[in-house]
Structure 1
Amino acid sequence: MPLISLFVLVQLLGPDGQPVSDLERIDGRMAEGPLLQLEPGLHQLTAGGQRATFFVPEGPGAEPLRLQVNVRPLPGDFGVAIRRHRHVDESAAVPPRGAVDPMLPQALGYELGPTLPETIRVARYADNNCSSTFLRVDEVPLESYVAGVVNAEIGVFAAAGSGEGVQIPSGERRTRVFASFQTFAVAARTYVVWWYLRQGPAADYHIKDGPCNQVYKDDRTEISTAAATSTAGQILVAEFDHNLLDKHEYASACARRGSLPSYKSATPVDPADIIPDDGLSRVCVRDWCGHDRERMAHQDNPLFPAGNRSLVRGICQWGSVERAVRGDSYLQILSHYQPLLTLRTIGGEPQLGGLAGELTAADSGAPVVGAQLLLSLDGEERSTRTDRQGQYEFAELSPGLWQGHVRAEGYQSQDDHILVEAGSVRYAHFQLVAGGDEPELPDAGPVPGAGDGGSIDPPDAQRDAAVGCGCGAAQGLGFPWWTVFLIGMGFFGPLRRGRRRATPPL
């Protein structure tokens, strides 16, 4: 197995693009030459009496990584960047797409191509504050970026139902709030693609990591990753033009005062255009009930006193989680807040994933043969049985957080949530505890791996007493139990095998 280097070979360049000649120290240690072996992460150098901070990414390849560092900072320049950055006036008018039909809603946006960007360049700032020290630019795969934004923006909703209002058992929270996470995976992807098109593919950075754009952090969770993978490639586009991408906003909360959807006039606002957001049951995260309070929003609400800044545009985060908890899908949530938009998937068919593993008895470790596994996700259901080794496998599963149910005669059933990611096989192993009153399993076809030599049925311990296992009858006749078994196999084995072949496996 090849060794993986923990260090990156780096060559530091000055503002003129030439190697730093007066390099003195790196992280407080004497610099030994122009080529340095450094760990990925943030470092500090001293050169010519000046200090600069620079960031080394992971594994760039066999060739030395050439990093340009600013050892002579200019006013307004902070630290060092992998790429020189430029600031764009966010208030500048977005160039129109060209001539538009005056009878259609007028929109300023960008023409979508056949694919979405593979990576996003993210300008990183200290404390995720766009007004703070600029640290570096990270190049992040699009779907990984989306997962990072979802967790940073609404990750707290994983604990929804832990305070006042609707009470949700901890084991059910992921399922109840998942639609909200999917909603914001679509919203975050739509928003960053708009910035990508605005800045241009060759821009030094496409988006900032703070609330001036949308918050991005390096942390990801199972539920945020599942939200990104299960909605991969989906963005919101204009209902009247599926090739048009505009800037579609969202906000934390609207204090139940409603929100203004895209393509409705913001100046002045027609009160009839405001989407109501009341009538929902309160959902809180411990003592935080964010949808109750006034929130700083995009503009004044004409239905309330001037200057209250309580009208948000687009999707309301706290409203989305309350809608998810009551049972709305992410498609329903999106259509509520953005009725003039539609969902478009770009990049071909979404990549599928797989699931495999084994079932064993908790007390003995023996494989559990013939156990049934049931999976469900957004109305899609899949089923299979374990083979002679207690193993199972699902192929071509949609990415997402599947609800799993495992049952076997003579064992307690189990329920769990299993994350399936695109392009990979997830391994999930179960240990079943003896006992329980599970009903006899329906015929789901032959046990995988049984072959043409016959099939293996689940254990007969729970079989109906009226039918009986034959054990008592054998003893009453004075025959060993195994003679009855052999006779039964001789008479009924071919019949049973024939019936099994006629029932295809699920």
Structure 2
Amino acid sequence: MSLFRTFLIAALCLIAGGSAASLRPETVRVAVVKGADTVRIDGAMALLTDSRGEPLALEMPLEVKRVKDGVQVNGRTLSGLVVSAPVRVAVNGKGYRGVLEVSAGTERGLLVVDELPLEDYLVGLINCEISSAWPMEAIKAQAVIARSYAIFQKNARRGAPYQLESSVMDQVYEGCDVEDSRAARGVQETAGEVVTYDGKVIQAFYHSNCAGHTESSKTVWGLSIPYLRGVACRYCQEANPIGWELKLPLKKVEAQLKAAGIRVAGVREIRVLERNESGRVQDLVVIDGKGRTIVPGVAFRKALGYSQLKSTNFEIRMAGDDCLINGAGSGHGVGLCQWGAKQRAADGFDYHEILTYYYPGVKLAKEYGQ
């Protein structure tokens, strides 16, 4: 972080009522826009500089476009743009805290990165990942795992333009407009607290609904991590019994498999070949004109799309020229089950008990703060 941006974030913390301890807060860098052709930026009392820290006198709102030599802001070409404001900066109508950096990025389109105090990020995250109307112990559990995940990713991606995506690729974050007092309370009452294993902050994966049993990291990613073992979970079924159905033309499924690099042609049938210990699909067999192709369940889900095939807990059968899929649960199934955590909190478990259940062998520790 540059000295100039450190000053900006510290100043914004003091304006927001931060203490002297907030002068050097733990911060994160979150990619809030990637690949957009244009963005619109607005904010009251905004401070604008170029990427070198030189002040800019530009009239708000700002229309930013990517151009060959950098970014074009209200018709003026710059190498990059840095924006901050006492309360919030709006990007395409969404409010964000901290310091916003706009650049051409390394891919097509614009890259907008929000650098802000980690605790502020968490308050905005709660209502994107769960609901602040949930029991407080579930909110606290979410705050702790989101903090742990963010710190792990920050350490893993040091030197990168950003440490976190604002989507399901990391953690869903829609800015400060969804903050509320219950979300803030859950974050404040666990301030600086993280989940650790063997003295190190864990990679705290989590998902929406496991449908009865969480999944091991080895099954999903091929890497056995001791605190990411599958555990039984009846709680999510009580809180949110989630079933789903999918009907897809067999030709469309074949096209999606081919696009994912799976060599099939003239697919006639797809069926489950093997299930793992949690009951999810381990492998499927795809039968076509050339024979049989074994496809791992996780690869099949990725090929069809995570939003379409919500989990690998499913049955599949053929009906004429269509694939009929009946499934349960949502997400990869690894780590904490959010709907299970909600029910455990409603049953009287505190967030320590919730976290140590879903992440076997872990401990909670204070990473920073008083």
Normalized against structure 1, the TM-score is what?
0.39
Distance change >3 Å, CA 35–CA 47, structure 1 → 2? farther
Partners of 1:18 and 1:226 in 2: how far apart? 35
Residue equivalent to 1:154: 130
Which of residues 171, 190, 208 is equivalent to 1:214? Answer: 171
Residue equivalent to 1:469: none
Shift of 1:178: 1.1
Residue equivalent to 1:71: none
Q: 2:189 matched to 1:189?
A: no
Q: What residue identity is the alignment partner of 2:170?
A: N
Aligned residue for 1:254, secondary structure, equals coil
Shift of 1:254: 0.7
Distance change >3 Å, CA 266–CA 330, structure 1 → 2? farther
Residue equivalent to 1:337: 358
Partners of 2:365 and 2:70 in 1: how far apart? 51
| Contact preservation (8 Å) 2:335, 2:359 | yes
Q: 2:64 matched to 1:44?
A: yes
Distance change >3 Å, CA 237–CA 42, structure 1 → 2? farther
Q: 2:277 matched to 1:302?
A: yes
| Contact preservation (8 Å) 1:182, 1:231 | yes
Alignment of 1:179-258 (within 5 A): 179-200=137-158, 202-218=159-175, 219-238=178-197, 241-242=198-199, 244-258=200-214
Shift of 1:47: 8.3
Partners of 1:339 and 1:38 in 2: how far apart? 54
Residue equivalent to 1:414: none
Specify the structure having the higher radius of gyration (Cα): 1
Distance change >3 Å, CA 320–CA 134, structure 1 → 2? farther
Shift of 1:340: 1.6
Shift of 1:49: 12
Which of residues 73, 83, 87 is equivalent to 1:57? Answer: 83
Q: 2:341 matched to 1:312?
A: no
Partners of 2:204 and 2:194 in 1: how far apart? 10
Partners of 1:48 and 1:339 in 2: how far apart? 51
Aligned residue for 2:120, secondary structure, equals helix
Alignment of 1:9-158 (within 5 A): 10=48, 12=50, 35-39=56-60, 42-44=62-64, 52=72, 57-59=83-85, 81-82=101-102, 85=105, 134-155=110-131, 158=133
Distance change >3 Å, CA 149–CA 134, structure 1 → 2? farther
Residue equivalent to 2:234: 278
Partners of 1:141 and 1:252 in 2: how far apart? 26
- 1:301-359 per-residue CA deviation (whole Å, 9 max, x = no partner) reads 4343434524621101111111111111111110110122110112243xxxxxxxxxx
Unaligned runs of 5+ in 2: 1-42, 74-79, 87-99, 247-274, 284-296, 298-311, 314-331
Larger relative helix fraction: 2
Shift of 1:268: 7.8
Residue equivalent to 2:288: none
Alignment of 1:456-471 (within 5 A): none
Structure number with greater CO (CA < 8 Å, separation at least 6) is 2
Aligned residue for 1:237, secondary structure, equals strand
Distance change >3 Å, CA 133–CA 231, structure 1 → 2? farther
Q: What residue identity is the alignment partner of 2:85?
A: G
Distance change >3 Å, CA 9–CA 326, structure 1 → 2? closer
Residue equivalent to 1:6: 44
Shift of 1:265: 9.7
- 1:414-457 per-residue CA deviation (whole Å, 9 max, x = no partner) reads xxxxxxxxxxxxxxxxxxxxxxxxxxxxxxxxxxxxxxxxxxxx
Residue equivalent to 1:409: none
Q: What residue identity is the alignment partner of 1:338?
A: Y
Partners of 2:245 and 2:143 in 1: how far apart? 25
Aligned residue for 1:334, secondary structure, equals helix
Number of aligned pairs?
231
Partners of 1:18 and 1:142 in 2: how far apart? 23
Shift of 1:189: 0.3
| Contact preservation (8 Å) 1:149, 1:215 | yes
Partners of 2:70 and 2:201 in 1: how far apart? 45
| Contact preservation (8 Å) 2:154, 2:163 | yes
| Contact preservation (8 Å) 1:180, 1:320 | yes
Shift of 1:225: 1.1
Superposition RMSD in Å: 4.2
Partners of 1:267 and 1:51 in 2: how far apart? 41
Distance change >3 Å, CA 235–CA 86, structure 1 → 2? farther
Shift of 1:235: 0.6
Shift of 1:232: 0.5
| Contact preservation (8 Å) 1:10, 1:38 | no
Alignment of 1:341-490 (within 5 A): 341-349=362-370
Partners of 1:207 and 1:249 in 2: how far apart? 14
Distance change >3 Å, CA 83–CA 190, structure 1 → 2? farther
| Contact preservation (8 Å) 2:205, 2:336 | yes
Distance change >3 Å, CA 329–CA 51, structure 1 → 2? closer
Shift of 1:245: 2.6
Aligned residue for 2:172, secondary structure, equals coil
| Contact preservation (8 Å) 2:191, 2:369 | no
Larger relative strand fraction: 2
Residue equivalent to 2:24: none
Distance change >3 Å, CA 82–CA 183, structure 1 → 2? same
| Contact preservation (8 Å) 1:196, 1:207 | yes
Residue equivalent to 2:302: none
